[in-house]
Amino acid sequence: MSSSFGKLFRISTWGESHGGGVGVVIDGCPPNIEISEADIQIDLDRRKPGQSEIVTPRDEADQCEILSGVFEGKTLGTPIAILVRNKDARPEAYGEMKDKFRPSHADYTYQAKYGIRNWQGGGRASARETIGRVAAASVAKKVLQGKFASKLEIIAWVKSVRDIVADVDPDQVQFGTIESNIVRTGDPQAVEPMIDLIKTMRAEGNSVGGVVECVVRQMPVGLGEPVFDKLEADLAKAMLSLPACKGFEVGSGFAGTQMTGSEHNDPFYMENDRVRTSSNRSGGIQGGISNGENLVFRLAFKPTATIMSSQATVSSDGQDTELTGRGRHDPCVLPRAVPMVEAMAALVLCDHALRQAAQNG
Protein backbone atom coordinates (compact mmCIF):
# COMPACT_ATOMS: atom_id res chain seq x y z
CA MET A 1 0.00 0.00 0.00
CA SER A 2 3.00 2.17 -0.53
CA SER A 3 1.48 3.97 -3.48
CA SER A 4 -1.65 5.43 -1.93
CA PHE A 5 -1.90 8.66 0.03
CA GLY A 6 -4.71 10.29 1.97
CA LYS A 7 -7.62 8.89 3.93
CA LEU A 8 -10.64 10.51 2.28
CA PHE A 9 -9.20 12.29 -0.76
CA ARG A 10 -7.18 9.21 -1.57
CA ILE A 11 -4.77 9.01 -4.47
CA SER A 12 -3.03 5.94 -5.86
CA THR A 13 -0.16 6.60 -8.24
CA TRP A 14 1.34 3.99 -10.55
CA GLY A 15 3.95 3.72 -13.26
CA GLU A 16 7.65 3.39 -13.83
CA SER A 17 9.86 5.93 -15.60
CA HIS A 18 10.29 3.46 -18.42
CA GLY A 19 7.15 1.52 -19.31
CA GLY A 20 3.64 2.18 -20.56
CA GLY A 21 3.22 5.42 -18.68
CA VAL A 22 2.43 6.90 -15.31
CA GLY A 23 -0.81 7.96 -13.72
CA VAL A 24 -3.08 8.27 -10.77
CA VAL A 25 -6.51 7.25 -9.53
CA ILE A 26 -8.26 9.68 -7.18
CA ASP A 27 -10.91 8.13 -4.95
CA GLY A 28 -13.25 10.10 -2.73
CA CYS A 29 -13.35 13.35 -4.69
CA PRO A 30 -16.51 15.35 -4.08
CA PRO A 31 -18.87 15.64 -7.05
CA ASN A 32 -19.73 18.68 -9.14
CA ILE A 33 -16.24 20.19 -9.10
CA GLU A 34 -15.32 21.71 -12.47
CA ILE A 35 -12.11 20.23 -13.84
CA SER A 36 -10.59 19.70 -17.28
CA GLU A 37 -7.49 18.21 -18.80
CA ALA A 38 -6.40 21.78 -19.57
CA ASP A 39 -6.57 22.72 -15.88
CA ILE A 40 -4.38 19.80 -14.95
CA GLN A 41 -1.99 20.42 -17.81
CA ILE A 42 -1.10 23.84 -16.40
CA ASP A 43 0.30 22.20 -13.28
CA LEU A 44 1.95 19.34 -15.17
CA ASP A 45 3.74 21.83 -17.41
CA ARG A 46 5.36 23.44 -14.37
CA ARG A 47 6.68 20.03 -13.35
CA LYS A 48 7.69 18.62 -16.71
CA PRO A 49 11.26 18.14 -17.93
CA GLY A 50 12.73 20.30 -20.64
CA GLN A 51 10.98 23.47 -19.57
CA SER A 52 14.17 25.51 -19.14
CA GLU A 53 17.90 25.38 -19.62
CA ILE A 54 18.61 24.41 -16.00
CA VAL A 55 16.53 21.25 -15.86
CA THR A 56 16.78 17.84 -17.50
CA PRO A 57 16.35 17.88 -21.28
CA ARG A 58 14.26 14.69 -21.37
CA ASP A 59 11.63 15.52 -23.96
CA GLU A 60 8.22 14.68 -22.55
CA ALA A 61 5.01 16.55 -23.34
CA ASP A 62 3.45 14.90 -20.29
CA GLN A 63 0.05 15.26 -21.90
CA CYS A 64 -2.65 13.98 -19.59
CA GLU A 65 -5.84 12.10 -20.41
CA ILE A 66 -8.75 11.90 -17.95
CA LEU A 67 -10.14 8.38 -18.33
CA SER A 68 -12.99 8.42 -15.84
CA GLY A 69 -14.80 10.24 -13.07
CA VAL A 70 -15.47 13.45 -15.01
CA PHE A 71 -18.62 14.02 -17.06
CA GLU A 72 -19.50 17.13 -19.03
CA GLY A 73 -16.67 19.00 -17.30
CA LYS A 74 -17.57 18.11 -13.71
CA THR A 75 -16.48 15.46 -11.25
CA LEU A 76 -18.95 12.63 -10.71
CA GLY A 77 -17.85 11.67 -7.19
CA THR A 78 -16.46 8.43 -8.67
CA PRO A 79 -12.76 7.58 -9.17
CA ILE A 80 -10.88 9.91 -11.47
CA ALA A 81 -8.24 8.08 -13.48
CA ILE A 82 -5.56 10.16 -15.20
CA LEU A 83 -3.01 8.73 -17.64
CA VAL A 84 0.25 10.19 -19.02
CA ARG A 85 2.14 8.07 -21.52
CA ASN A 86 5.93 7.81 -21.43
CA LYS A 87 7.37 9.03 -24.73
CA ASP A 88 11.06 9.79 -24.55
CA ALA A 89 12.25 6.77 -22.59
CA ARG A 90 15.78 5.78 -23.51
CA PRO A 91 16.47 2.50 -21.79
CA GLU A 92 19.72 2.12 -23.73
CA ALA A 93 21.21 4.88 -21.57
CA TYR A 94 20.72 2.64 -18.58
CA GLY A 95 22.39 -0.52 -19.84
CA GLU A 96 25.24 -0.26 -17.38
CA MET A 97 22.80 0.15 -14.51
CA LYS A 98 21.49 -3.32 -15.14
CA ASP A 99 24.51 -4.72 -13.38
CA LYS A 100 25.81 -1.84 -11.26
CA PHE A 101 24.10 0.07 -8.45
CA ARG A 102 24.21 3.87 -8.78
CA PRO A 103 25.45 5.42 -5.50
CA SER A 104 22.78 7.19 -3.43
CA HIS A 105 20.07 6.01 -5.82
CA ALA A 106 17.43 3.39 -5.04
CA ASP A 107 18.89 0.67 -7.29
CA TYR A 108 20.43 -1.40 -4.52
CA THR A 109 17.60 -1.10 -2.02
CA TYR A 110 14.91 -1.98 -4.58
CA GLN A 111 16.93 -5.01 -5.64
CA ALA A 112 17.47 -6.04 -2.03
CA LYS A 113 13.83 -5.58 -1.11
CA TYR A 114 12.12 -7.12 -4.13
CA GLY A 115 14.75 -9.33 -5.75
CA ILE A 116 13.88 -7.63 -9.05
CA ARG A 117 13.84 -4.11 -10.44
CA ASN A 118 13.12 -2.27 -13.66
CA TRP A 119 16.69 -1.16 -14.34
CA GLN A 120 15.69 0.82 -17.43
CA GLY A 121 15.59 4.03 -15.47
CA GLY A 122 14.64 4.93 -11.94
CA GLY A 123 11.44 2.88 -11.84
CA ARG A 124 9.12 4.14 -9.14
CA ALA A 125 11.97 6.14 -7.57
CA SER A 126 12.08 8.39 -10.63
CA ALA A 127 10.66 11.88 -10.31
CA ARG A 128 8.29 10.87 -13.12
CA GLU A 129 6.21 9.21 -10.43
CA THR A 130 5.27 12.66 -9.16
CA ILE A 131 3.22 13.32 -12.31
CA GLY A 132 0.34 11.50 -10.70
CA ARG A 133 0.67 13.55 -7.54
CA VAL A 134 0.72 16.86 -9.39
CA ALA A 135 -2.27 15.87 -11.51
CA ALA A 136 -4.25 14.80 -8.45
CA ALA A 137 -3.32 17.99 -6.66
CA SER A 138 -4.83 20.05 -9.47
CA VAL A 139 -8.13 18.45 -8.56
CA ALA A 140 -7.46 18.86 -4.84
CA LYS A 141 -6.94 22.59 -5.25
CA LYS A 142 -10.25 22.90 -7.10
CA VAL A 143 -11.99 21.06 -4.27
CA LEU A 144 -10.36 23.22 -1.60
CA GLN A 145 -11.21 26.45 -3.36
CA GLY A 146 -14.66 25.30 -4.45
CA LYS A 147 -15.86 23.93 -1.14
CA PHE A 148 -13.69 25.05 1.75
CA ALA A 149 -11.57 28.16 1.25
CA SER A 150 -12.21 30.13 -1.91
CA LYS A 151 -9.16 32.37 -1.49
CA LEU A 152 -6.70 29.70 -0.36
CA GLU A 153 -3.20 30.20 -1.82
CA ILE A 154 -0.48 27.54 -1.80
CA ILE A 155 2.84 29.04 -2.90
CA ALA A 156 6.31 27.49 -2.76
CA TRP A 157 9.68 28.83 -3.87
CA VAL A 158 13.37 28.06 -3.82
CA LYS A 159 14.64 29.46 -0.54
CA SER A 160 18.27 28.51 -1.08
CA VAL A 161 20.58 26.77 -3.53
CA ARG A 162 23.58 25.54 -1.57
CA ASP A 163 24.74 28.74 0.19
CA ILE A 164 22.78 31.26 -1.87
CA VAL A 165 19.82 32.25 0.28
CA ALA A 166 16.81 34.13 -1.03
CA ASP A 167 15.19 36.87 1.02
CA VAL A 168 11.48 36.17 0.77
CA ASP A 169 8.57 37.20 3.01
CA PRO A 170 6.09 34.32 3.15
CA ASP A 171 3.25 36.68 4.02
CA GLN A 172 3.80 38.81 0.91
CA VAL A 173 5.46 36.82 -1.87
CA GLN A 174 3.46 36.56 -5.08
CA PHE A 175 3.11 33.54 -7.34
CA GLY A 176 3.91 35.68 -10.39
CA THR A 177 7.26 36.71 -8.95
CA ILE A 178 8.29 33.12 -8.50
CA GLU A 179 7.06 31.93 -11.89
CA SER A 180 8.83 34.82 -13.63
CA ASN A 181 12.22 33.16 -13.21
CA ILE A 182 13.33 29.67 -14.22
CA VAL A 183 14.87 28.84 -10.85
CA ARG A 184 11.54 29.60 -9.14
CA THR A 185 12.77 31.76 -6.29
CA GLY A 186 10.86 34.66 -4.75
CA ASP A 187 13.81 37.04 -4.46
CA PRO A 188 14.78 38.80 -7.70
CA GLN A 189 18.29 39.40 -6.31
CA ALA A 190 18.89 35.69 -5.94
CA VAL A 191 17.80 34.62 -9.41
CA GLU A 192 21.03 35.13 -11.32
CA PRO A 193 23.37 33.78 -8.62
CA MET A 194 21.27 30.66 -8.29
CA ILE A 195 21.09 30.07 -12.04
CA ASP A 196 24.81 30.65 -12.38
CA LEU A 197 25.57 28.14 -9.65
CA ILE A 198 23.33 25.51 -11.21
CA LYS A 199 24.89 26.04 -14.64
CA THR A 200 28.35 25.77 -13.16
CA MET A 201 27.42 22.53 -11.48
CA ARG A 202 25.99 21.13 -14.69
CA ALA A 203 29.10 22.12 -16.60
CA GLU A 204 31.19 20.26 -14.03
CA GLY A 205 28.97 17.18 -14.24
CA ASN A 206 28.13 17.81 -10.63
CA SER A 207 24.91 18.69 -8.80
CA VAL A 208 23.63 20.83 -5.97
CA GLY A 209 20.79 20.90 -3.43
CA GLY A 210 18.95 23.48 -1.39
CA VAL A 211 15.85 24.44 0.52
CA VAL A 212 12.27 24.99 -0.65
CA GLU A 213 9.93 27.10 1.45
CA CYS A 214 6.15 26.99 1.22
CA VAL A 215 3.33 29.13 2.55
CA VAL A 216 -0.40 28.52 2.62
CA ARG A 217 -2.42 31.71 3.02
CA GLN A 218 -6.11 32.16 3.83
CA MET A 219 -6.04 28.93 5.77
CA PRO A 220 -9.24 27.60 7.34
CA VAL A 221 -9.14 27.12 11.12
CA GLY A 222 -9.46 23.59 12.45
CA LEU A 223 -7.67 21.41 9.89
CA GLY A 224 -5.51 18.64 11.29
CA GLU A 225 -6.20 16.25 14.11
CA PRO A 226 -4.84 15.57 17.56
CA VAL A 227 -2.17 12.96 18.17
CA PHE A 228 -0.94 11.05 15.09
CA ASP A 229 -2.52 12.88 12.19
CA LYS A 230 -1.42 16.32 13.25
CA LEU A 231 -1.35 18.65 10.28
CA GLU A 232 2.43 19.06 10.56
CA ALA A 233 2.85 15.28 10.83
CA ASP A 234 0.95 14.63 7.64
CA LEU A 235 2.78 17.47 5.89
CA ALA A 236 6.11 16.04 7.04
CA LYS A 237 5.25 12.63 5.69
CA ALA A 238 4.01 14.13 2.43
CA MET A 239 7.18 16.11 1.92
CA LEU A 240 9.65 13.43 2.99
CA SER A 241 7.96 11.16 0.44
CA LEU A 242 9.24 13.41 -2.36
CA PRO A 243 12.41 12.21 -4.08
CA ALA A 244 15.60 13.74 -2.61
CA CYS A 245 13.88 15.35 0.40
CA LYS A 246 15.93 14.96 3.59
CA GLY A 247 14.35 17.34 6.07
CA PHE A 248 11.20 19.19 7.10
CA GLU A 249 10.55 21.97 9.55
CA VAL A 250 7.45 24.01 10.35
CA GLY A 251 7.30 27.53 11.73
CA SER A 252 10.37 28.27 13.80
CA GLY A 253 11.69 24.77 13.11
CA PHE A 254 15.27 23.95 14.08
CA ALA A 255 16.06 27.65 14.66
CA GLY A 256 13.32 27.73 17.29
CA THR A 257 15.43 25.54 19.53
CA GLN A 258 17.64 28.57 20.14
CA MET A 259 14.83 30.51 21.79
CA THR A 260 13.30 30.44 25.25
CA GLY A 261 9.60 29.86 25.83
CA SER A 262 8.96 33.51 26.54
CA GLU A 263 10.60 34.44 23.23
CA HIS A 264 8.93 31.66 21.26
CA ASN A 265 5.28 31.69 22.34
CA ASP A 266 2.79 33.38 20.01
CA PRO A 267 0.53 35.74 21.98
CA PHE A 268 -3.15 35.76 21.04
CA TYR A 269 -5.16 38.88 20.34
CA MET A 270 -8.56 39.69 18.86
CA GLU A 271 -8.76 41.18 15.37
CA ASN A 272 -12.40 42.09 15.20
CA ASP A 273 -14.14 38.74 15.71
CA ARG A 274 -11.16 36.68 14.78
CA VAL A 275 -8.58 35.14 17.08
CA ARG A 276 -5.11 36.01 15.80
CA THR A 277 -1.53 35.61 16.99
CA SER A 278 0.85 38.55 16.92
CA SER A 279 3.79 36.35 15.91
CA ASN A 280 3.72 33.06 14.00
CA ARG A 281 6.51 30.85 15.31
CA SER A 282 3.93 28.08 15.42
CA GLY A 283 3.80 28.23 11.62
CA GLY A 284 0.03 28.27 11.65
CA ILE A 285 -0.43 25.01 13.58
CA GLN A 286 -1.02 24.48 17.30
CA GLY A 287 -1.64 21.07 18.80
CA GLY A 288 -1.63 19.66 15.29
CA ILE A 289 -4.56 21.84 14.18
CA SER A 290 -4.48 24.94 11.99
CA ASN A 291 -5.14 28.20 13.80
CA GLY A 292 -5.87 30.31 10.71
CA GLU A 293 -2.46 31.98 10.53
CA ASN A 294 -0.28 31.34 7.49
CA LEU A 295 1.06 27.83 7.27
CA VAL A 296 4.85 28.04 6.74
CA PHE A 297 7.29 25.17 6.31
CA ARG A 298 10.66 24.39 4.73
CA LEU A 299 12.22 21.33 3.13
CA ALA A 300 15.79 20.24 2.53
CA PHE A 301 16.57 18.67 -0.85
CA LYS A 302 19.88 16.89 -1.26
CA PRO A 303 22.06 17.37 -4.34
CA THR A 304 20.94 15.14 -7.25
CA ALA A 305 22.52 11.72 -6.98
CA THR A 306 23.23 11.46 -10.72
CA ILE A 307 26.64 13.00 -11.43
CA MET A 308 28.96 12.61 -14.40
CA SER A 309 32.14 11.61 -12.60
CA SER A 310 33.37 8.13 -11.82
CA GLN A 311 32.25 6.72 -8.47
CA ALA A 312 33.04 3.61 -6.50
CA THR A 313 30.18 1.14 -6.38
CA VAL A 314 29.38 -2.56 -6.49
CA SER A 315 27.86 -4.82 -9.09
CA SER A 316 24.75 -6.91 -8.69
CA ASP A 317 26.92 -10.00 -8.37
CA GLY A 318 28.78 -8.50 -5.43
CA GLN A 319 32.00 -7.14 -6.88
CA ASP A 320 33.60 -3.76 -6.21
CA THR A 321 33.56 -1.68 -9.38
CA GLU A 322 33.17 1.87 -10.73
CA LEU A 323 30.38 3.69 -12.48
CA THR A 324 30.21 6.99 -14.38
CA GLY A 325 26.84 8.67 -14.60
CA ARG A 326 25.13 8.93 -17.96
CA GLY A 327 21.73 9.96 -19.17
CA ARG A 328 19.72 13.12 -18.80
CA HIS A 329 19.25 14.58 -15.36
CA ASP A 330 18.55 17.69 -13.35
CA PRO A 331 21.72 19.25 -11.93
CA CYS A 332 19.44 20.69 -9.23
CA VAL A 333 16.00 19.33 -8.44
CA LEU A 334 14.70 22.47 -6.76
CA PRO A 335 13.03 24.38 -9.63
CA ARG A 336 10.94 21.32 -10.48
CA ALA A 337 10.44 20.42 -6.81
CA VAL A 338 8.49 23.64 -6.23
CA PRO A 339 5.27 22.45 -7.93
CA MET A 340 5.69 19.04 -6.29
CA VAL A 341 5.80 20.66 -2.84
CA GLU A 342 2.70 22.69 -3.60
CA ALA A 343 1.02 19.54 -4.85
CA MET A 344 1.71 17.56 -1.69
CA ALA A 345 0.49 20.48 0.44
CA ALA A 346 -2.74 20.61 -1.54
CA LEU A 347 -3.28 16.88 -1.15
CA VAL A 348 -2.78 17.02 2.63
CA LEU A 349 -5.06 20.00 3.05
CA CYS A 350 -7.82 18.60 0.85
CA ASP A 351 -7.77 15.32 2.75
CA HIS A 352 -7.96 17.11 6.09
CA ALA A 353 -10.73 19.40 4.87
CA LEU A 354 -12.84 16.34 4.03
CA ARG A 355 -11.98 14.76 7.36
CA GLN A 356 -13.02 17.92 9.13
CA ALA A 357 -16.30 17.95 7.20
CA ALA A 358 -16.95 14.34 8.20
CA GLN A 359 -16.47 14.72 11.92
CA ASN A 360 -17.22 18.37 12.60
CA GLY A 361 -19.20 19.54 9.59
The residues in 168-197 that bind a copy of itself, with binding defined as CB under 8 A, are: none
* Nearest CB to a copy of itself, comparing residues 176 and 359: 359
**d(C-alpha 21, C-alpha 87), whole Å:** 8
DSSP string, 148-172: I-TT-EEEEEEEEETTEE----TTT
List phi, psi (to 5°) of 301. Answer: -115, 130
Choice from 112, 167, 172, 192 touching a copy of itself (CB under 8 A) = 112
**Residue numbers 193-222 binding a copy of itself by CB under 8 A:** 201, 206-211, 221-222
Choice from 183, 217, 291, 340 touching a copy of itself (CB under 8 A) = 291
* Nearest CB to a copy of itself, comparing residues 182 and 240: 240
* Nearest CB to a copy of itself, comparing residues 149 and 240: 240
Q: Are 346 and 140 in contact (CB under 8 A)?
A: yes
Should residue 150 be labelled a site residue for a copy of itself when binding is judged by CB under 8 A?
no
List phi, psi (to 5°) of 351. Answer: -60, -45
Choice from 43, 62, 225, 342 touching a copy of itself (CB under 8 A) = 225
Should residue 252 be labelled a site residue for a copy of itself when binding is judged by CB under 8 A?
yes
Q: Which residues pair with 64 in a beta bridge?
A: 84
Size (the chain), residues: 361
Q: What is the DSSP letter of 101?
A: P
Reference 35, options 66, 78, 79, 4; nearest CA is 66
* Nearest CB to a copy of itself, comparing residues 175 and 316: 316
Q: How far is CA 302 from CA 39, 141, 211, 243, in A?
A: 31, 28, 9, 9
Number of residues in contact with a copy of itself under rule CB under 8 A: 153
**Residue numbers 41-100 binding a copy of itself by CB under 8 A:** 65-69, 71, 74-81, 83
**Residue numbers 293-352 binding a copy of itself by CB under 8 A:** 300-307, 309, 311-314, 318-320
* Nearest CB to a copy of itself, comparing residues 44 and 223: 223
* Nearest CB to a copy of itself, comparing residues 147 and 153: 147
Binding mask 113-132 for a copy of itself (x = CB under 8 A): xxxxxx----xxx---x---
Instruction: Indicate the helix (H) or strand (E) that contains 64.
Output: strand 64-66
Pairing of strands 245-250, 285-286: unpaired
- Least Å distance between CB 181 and a copy of itself? 20
